[in-house]
Amino acid sequence: MPRLSSGLVIAGAYADKIRRTLFAQMKDYVKQDKTWAQRVAYAAAQLNRFLYTILVEQLKIDKGDVVRIRIEYDVDEVSKEIKWKWDTLQIEAFRRIPQEQVDEIVRKMVARAAEVSVAAVAYDLRKLGETEDGDIVYEVVLGERSVGAVVVTPVDERIALLKKGAVVEPTPAIFERSKLEIQPGEDLENAIERALSTVIQTAKHVSHEEALRVVNALREKVSAKPMEEHVEEEEISEEEI
């Protein structure tokens, strides 16, 4: 059975490492059929969504901490699908967290893996400014972290156009042009947040670098300061832990 291992990696870079490793392991399938590239990206996004819940929300891991993630998976060649073996997930967190605490949280969360890996994400918005042609640029916030940007064109009180958006957490993704229908009793920002919350199902899953490039291009439209660059992945040896 195939097994994915992130190796020792800085926590701020685990999502990209997971994505690259899975693509490397599935390269023969991707070469045969382009559909596999979309399925691999989706599977990586599912895993990264779930890991974000454990590492960031539950364990409060910092970006500079070191983690190692291992999980087995099945490849369904008929349906062209990667199926994670959630009960094989192992996470090592190299900081002052007792391993027993990490294991206990993983054990509890695995029971909800299928649900959490595709769950809606509770993004908030902060208005950054408006462009000369009437577009509104928002900063996308997750918790208290700035994780993305989106540009929207209001049409009327019921309709708006999401022109472009991107987030780097919990999994890097880009939102393409789409129509937003503002529901009764809902304001524009609520409609945008609702659209962004379905990141796993509706967005295009990309590398951190590509998502960050889009985020900063959108911020530049209103002269907002660029989001900080991604922490560079480092090769870490056992002796350094």
For residue 59, give Cα distances in angstroms to 27, 74, 86, 209: 33, 28, 18, 25
The hierarchical CATH code for the domain 3-116 is 3.30.470.50
Domain map (residue ranges) of the chain? 3-116, 124-220
Q: Which two tokens stand for residue 135?
A: 């577009």
Which residues, 6+ apart, have CB-to-CB distance to 132 below 8 Å?
A: none
Q: Give kind and range of the element (H or E) at residue 124.
A: strand 124-130
Question: DSSP secondary structure string, 44-109?
Answer: HHHHHHHHHIIIIIIS---TTSEEEEEEEEEEETTTTEEEEEEEEEEEEEESSS-HHHHHHHHHHH
Q: What is the pLDDT of residue 229?
A: 67
Q: What is the pLDDT of residue 237?
A: 46
Question: DSSP secondary structure string, 126-187?
Answer: EEEEE-TTS-EEEEEEETTEEEEEEEEEE-SSSEEEEEEEEE-SSS-EEE-SEEEEPPTT--
Q: Which two tokens stand for residue 241?
A: 């832990």
Q: What is the pLDDT of residue 102?
A: 87
* Tens-digit pLDDT string for the chain (241 aa): 899 999 999 998 999 999 999 999 999 999 988 899 999 999 999 999 999 999 999 999 988 899 999 999 999 999 999 999 999 999 998 876 788 888 999 999 999 998 989 899 999 999 999 999 899 999 999 988 899 999 999 998 899 999 999 999 999 999 999 999 999 889 999 999 999 999 999 999 999 999 999 999 999 999 999 987 654 444 444 444 4
Give the predicted TM-score (pTM) of the model: 0.80
